[in-house]
């Protein structure tokens, strides 16, 4: 099902892009196969054909439940860990409307949870940083040639967000091509930090998590 409750938007989209949405029950049954990971705040998930986010929204819901369980009594800690949870969720889709809808769904879900816990004290900077993260992590791209749809000269770039020094986050950029075509990385990626083996294409100074949106681009 997509966010409007349909499994198919049009026959043309099925024919052109194989677009058939997965129902919530199946999504959860599959996620239960890696249940521990879905409940680990910082575990990384990438959906390379994410549609409007049926898998990603359930992963976010599971992670935010854990964040709320641990940090609901301290707003700053909740904000930091919710940001970490969101920053480790990635998606790619070839259709622009799916990408927009996916970002919107994840953002709305976060806002709903955040406002429920802190109805009078939600911070604009936190909302802006989460929106910024989703803009970077949910990518309008072609997962088969690793390039952006809007500019076929540009490779898809994933930003790795690492929490350092309590409230700070460090961004390192890796192209999808370098991640997937690196033989050494492919063999050991499961067990180690990416940049022990693969230098980032670009890195940024650490920044407070509530100011992430200031990184721009
Ligand atoms: C079967 S649907 C699955 C959508 C979503 N993962 C779900 O389970 O509800 C496949 C998705 O892949 C996207 N897609 C097709 N070819 C793609 C490509 N080369 N790169 C990225 N996304 C692609 C389609 O737009 C569609 O949203």
Q: In the structure, what pLDDT confidence band is assigned to residue 74 with cuts at 50, 70 and 90?
A: very high
Residue with tokens 């953002």: 107
Q: Model confidence over 103-135: pLDDT tens digits?
A: 999 999 999 999 999 999 999 999 999 999 999
CA of 66 to the centre of ligand 1 (A): 28
The pTM (predicted TM-score) of the whole model is 0.93
Show contacts of 120-125: CB within 8 Å, 24+ apart.
121/75, 123/79, 123/210, 125/210, 125/211, 125/213
- How far apart are alpha carbons 15 and 133 in whole angstroms? 32
Report whether 43 contacts 90 (CB < 8 A).
no
* Cβ of 49 less than 6 Å from ligand 1: yes
Return the C-alpha torsion angle 68, 214, 165, 161, nearest 10: 70
For ligand 1, atom 26, name the residue with the nearest CA. 19
């Amino acid at each position: 099902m997509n966010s409007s409750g349909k499994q198919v938007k049009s026959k043309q989209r099925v024919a052109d892009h194989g677009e058939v949405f997965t129902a919530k029950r199946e999504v959860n049954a599959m996620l239960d196969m890696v249940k521990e990971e879905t409940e680990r705040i910082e575990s990384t998930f990438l959906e390379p054909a994410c549609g409007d986010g049926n898998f990603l929204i359930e992963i976010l819901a599971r992670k935010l439940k854990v964040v709320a369980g641990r940090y609901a009594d301290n707003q700053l800690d909740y904000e930091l860990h919710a940001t970490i949870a969101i920053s480790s969720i990635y998606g790619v889709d070839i259709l622009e409307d799916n990408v927009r809808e996916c970002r919107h769904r994840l953002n709305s879900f976060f806002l709903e949870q955040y406002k429920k816990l802190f109805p009078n004290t939600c911070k604009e900077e936190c909302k802006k940083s989460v929106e910024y993260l989703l803009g970077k992590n949910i990518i309008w791209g072609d997962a088969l040639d690793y390039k952006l749809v809007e500019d076929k000269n540009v490779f898809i770039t994933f930003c790795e967000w690492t929490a350092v020094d309590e409230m700070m986050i460090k961004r390192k950029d890796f192209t999808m091509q370098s991640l997937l075509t690196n033989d050494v990385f492919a063999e050991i990626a499961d067990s180690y930090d990416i940049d022990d083996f693969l230098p980032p294409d670009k890195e940024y100074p650490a920044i407070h998590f509530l100011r992430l949106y200031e990184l721009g681009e």
